Amino acid sequence: MRTIVELPDGDRDQLDAHCRLRGISRAQALREALVIWLEHQQPQHQAVFGLWRDRPLDSLAIEKALRSEWSDP
């Protein structure tokens, strides 16, 4: 899919310089940047906070149970 992106002159100049150094097109640089940005958009703290709230054990009991696995033969 094609899309048009308007960039301020200074940003475009920096992008062009970066592309020249790497020997890639603007489109390739923007695709790579988008992939990195999307990876950072994965669930944030607010989206996963309280994820274990319905567990039958409290957090200390869960920690103790997990640590006991380390010492059991």
pLDDT in tens, 1-17: 889 999 999 999 999 99
What is the Cα–Cα distance from 14 to 7, expressed in whole angstroms? 11
Give pLDDT, residue 56.
79
Global pTM reads 0.56
Give pLDDT, residue 53.
76
CB contact burial 47-65 (16+ within 10 A = b; e otherwise): eeeeeeeeeeeeeeeeeee
User: Is residue 16 within 8 Å of 26, Cβ to Cβ?
Assistant: yes
Tens digits of residue pLDDT in 35-45: 999 988 877 76
Domain regions of the chain by residue span: 9-71
